[in-house]
Amino acid sequence: MSRGPQAKPPPGPSPRRMVGWILAAAFIAAVAGVLTACQAGLPFGGTAAPATTTPVARPIGGVDTCRRGPRFQSTLGLSRGAALATTLTQVKGMAIIDPAGNNGRGLIYQHPSWSRAGFLGPFTTDREGNIYAGPVPVVSLVDNPPEKANRLYRIDTNTQEMTQFAELPAALPPSGASPFGVVGLAYDCETESLYVTSLAGSTATQEVGRIFRVDLKTGQVRDQLDGVDAMGLAPFHGSQGKRLYYGRARTAEVDSIGLDEAGNFVGEPRFEFSFADRAVSDRNTVRRIRIGANNAMTLNVMDFAFSLKAESRHQEDAFPYRYDPGSDAWTAAGAPITQ
């Protein structure tokens, strides 16, 4: 069921066969900040305690704590500081950066399949350590043509192989004026759902984006919210039920929509809060939403204007928020941090 907005709002190569790039110390320092932004909370250097598959009591909080790093990490001899990255413009696709690798001189590892889909952007993992990623163009459309922008890719937790997982329906045909498709991903442990935001078909003057719920067992779209341009998103159990929070791609706002027991959308979108008074630019939008311990939400905010030039810049600000169960609302919880 779809609805539109009604309210404001085998293991891989051994370490000896790793890609032969050695990072200079200066480059390691330069990408250190990027690593924090691109890991999306991935416990790559270790594994999280496995979660049960049977629903349990639902306390207030996030619903992705069952996520873990890929199993293949144990076969590569990487340090605990190694991290997945998709934001290195000189490396197409997914890569693993290990600052402590190669006797402390730094190392980048990439499986041969990880560059086949061009440059990648948002990614997340599931309870088994499978990685899901979406393509995002960088600088040009040569490696990322618009007709492939609304695809999802999956990296197998055991084999490292990356394959196409799903192709999402776009509201309008792709074009050079609309280069973006998948721009946000979030995983729900309870319903085995992948929530995906897409800007496919949208332009600077036309909003036709969609938010999808994809069943990870089948790769099928189970529900979608039409006419919403959004980027970062995260499901969360609040005092009044479970909702999917998402940052609008055109305004300094965060909205939400209710979720039922299956993870489908219910009710109408609800305006949550504006961060316009904290924004450093009138083009600030939410690239990612992270929900951590103690009901803390962090918005990773960047400039975005539906152009490749804007997307190619990675300077971000992190805005912290705290959830109040009594009012079922989020309030600012500290000064923004430039990353």
User: What are 265-288's pLDDT values in tens digits?
Assistant: 999 999 999 999 888 777 788 999
Give residue 28's pLDDT. Answer: 33
Average pLDDT, the chain: 83
C-alpha 167 chain-centroid distance: 17
Chain position carrying tokens 């480059």: 27
* 244 inside domain: yes
Which CB contacts under 8 angstroms, 24+ apart, belong to 275-280? Answer: 275/299, 275/301, 275/319, 275/332, 276/251, 276/252, 278/319, 278/332, 278/336, 279/252, 280/317, 280/336
The confidence band for 59, taking pLDDT boundaries of 50, 70 and 90, is confident
pLDDT bucket at 147, cuts 50 / 70 / 90? very high
pLDDT in tens, 231-251: 999 999 999 999 999 999 999
Q: Which residue has the higher pLDDT, 314 or 111?
A: 111
CB-CB contact of 285 with 316 (8 Å): no
Q: What is the mean pLDDT of residues 253-257?
A: 97
326 lies in some domain: yes
Count the alpha carbons within 13 Å of 208 in the hemisphere toward its beta carbon: 15
> Residue 201 sits in a domain of what CATH number?
2.120.10.30
**Domain-embedded: residue 7:** no
pLDDT at 140: 80
Which residue has better confidence, 95 or 315?
A: 95
Assigned domain for 2 exists: no
The confidence score (pLDDT) of residue 83 equals 94
- For the chain, the distance separating the N- and C-terminal CA atoms, rounded to the nearest angstrom, is 39
pLDDT at 4: 54
- Alpha-carbon distance of 92 to 65, in angstroms, equals 29
Query: 141 or 184: whose pLDDT is higher?
Result: 184
Q: What is the pLDDT of residues 85-142, one digit of tens each?
A: 998 878 999 999 999 988 888 999 999 999 999 999 999 999 999 999 999 988 788 9
| 173 φ, ψ (degrees, to nearest 5) | -60, 145
In the prediction, which pLDDT does 235 show?
A: 98
132 in a structural domain: yes
Query: 6-20, 80-94, 213-227, 312-326 — which is least confidently predicted?
Result: 6-20
pLDDT at 182: 97
The DSSP H or E segment spanning 33 is helix 25-38
Q: Which residue has the higher pLDDT, 78 or 6?
A: 78
How confident is the model at residue 22, as a pLDDT? 33
* Nearest partner of 278 among 296, 255, 254, judged by Cα: 254
- Flag whether pLDDT at 315 surpasses 90: no
160 in a domain, yes or no? yes
- Token code pair at residue 30: 């330069």
> How many Cβ atoms from other residues are within 10 Å of residue 312's Cβ?
12
In a domain, 168, yes or no: yes
Of the chain, the percentage scoring pLDDT greater than 90 comes to 64
Which sign, positive or negative, has the C-alpha torsion 231, 234, 235, 236?
Answer: negative
Cα(111)–Cα(102) distance, rounded to whole angstroms?
Answer: 17
Per-residue tokens: 100: 């402590």
Confidence label for 3 from pLDDT (cuts 50, 70 and 90): low
Question: Is residue 181 pLDDT above 90, yes or no?
Answer: yes
Any domain includes 6: no
Residue of higher predicted confidence among 328 and 102: 328
Domain count across the chain: 1
Euclidean distance between CA atoms 204 and 166, whole angstroms:
26
Question: Per-residue confidence at 314, pLDDT binned at 50, 70, 90?
Answer: low
Q: What is the span of the domain harbouring residue 287?
A: 13-338
Specify the higher pLDDT residue, 306 or 314.
Answer: 306
Considering only CA atoms, which of 4, 61, 40 is closest in space to residue 194?
40
309: burial class by Cβ within 10 Å (0-12, 13-18, 19+)?
Answer: exposed
Predicted confidence band at 173 (pLDDT cuts at 50, 70, 90)?
A: confident
Question: Within its chain, how far is the Cα of 71 from the centroid?
Answer: 20
